[in-house]
């Protein structure tokens, strides 16, 4: 669970992989999602499985004042043409932030921890959180949405 005991290079290898679909929503996996939500408390709003060393397609979003949500095998089914900009950060790339432009509204389909499919329409910070975490499942980091020079500068700091 503690990814901070491995080096950044090693973490980056896991973070750059495309994650595979979850096949069984079992107790162990559900326990992990609860731990992930606990981990976020006060330090962030989203965490994806690759960030804790697991290359499987699930993540949690826990916005202030909203019930935490678990997304398993999520698919973006709609994205708006309208874009919005948020200052993003990532627990895997601590202390670095940047304004990232993404679709302002999205529709996502996923499974919950009871194994039920659901569809969610989201805007604002929730839309950003979902897209940031979905990126993690595809090996993409928020810094990849920055100009190359800025991204490389951030990566260099960790290497
Ligand atoms: Ni992140």
User: Is 38 annotated in the active site?
Assistant: no
Of residues 57, 50, 37, 15, the one with CA closest to residue 143: 15
Catalytic residue among 17, 23, 87, 133: 133
From ligand 1's centre to the CA of 47, what distance in Å? 6
Kindly report the average pLDDT of the chain as a whole number: 94
Burial of residue 142 (CB within 10 Å: 0-12, 13-18, 19+) is: buried
From ligand 1's centre to the CA of 142, what distance in Å? 7
| pLDDT tens readout for residues 54-93 | 999 999 999 988 899 999 999 999 999 999 999 999 999 9
From ligand 1's centre to the CA of 53, what distance in Å? 13
pTM for the model stands at 0.95
| pLDDT tens readout for residues 18-42 | 999 999 999 999 999 999 999 998 8
Are the beta carbons of 100 and 145 closer than 8 angstroms?
yes
Across the range 148-152, mean pLDDT stands at: 94
From ligand 1's centre to the CA of 104, what distance in Å? 18
């Amino acid at each position: 669970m503690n990814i901070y005991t491995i080096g950044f290079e090693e973490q980056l290898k896991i973070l750059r992989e495309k994650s595979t679909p979850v096949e069984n929503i079992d107790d162990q996996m559900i326990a992990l999602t609860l731990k992930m939500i606990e981990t976020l408390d006060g330090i962030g709003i989203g965490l994806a499985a690759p960030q804790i060393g697991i290359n499987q397609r699930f993540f949690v979003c826990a916005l202030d004042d909203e019930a935490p949500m678990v997304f398993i095998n999520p698919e973006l089914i709609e994205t708006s043409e309208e874009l919005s900009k948020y200052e993003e950060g990532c627990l895997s790339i601590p202390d670095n932030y940047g304004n990232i432009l993404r679709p302002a509204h999205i529709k996502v389909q996923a499974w919950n921890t009871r194994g039920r499919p659901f569809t969610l329409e989201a805007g604002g910070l929730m839309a950003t959180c979902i897209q940031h975490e979905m990126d993690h499942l595809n090996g993409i980091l928020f810094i990849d949405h920055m100009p190359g020079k800025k991204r490389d500068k951030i990566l260099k700091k960790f290497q």
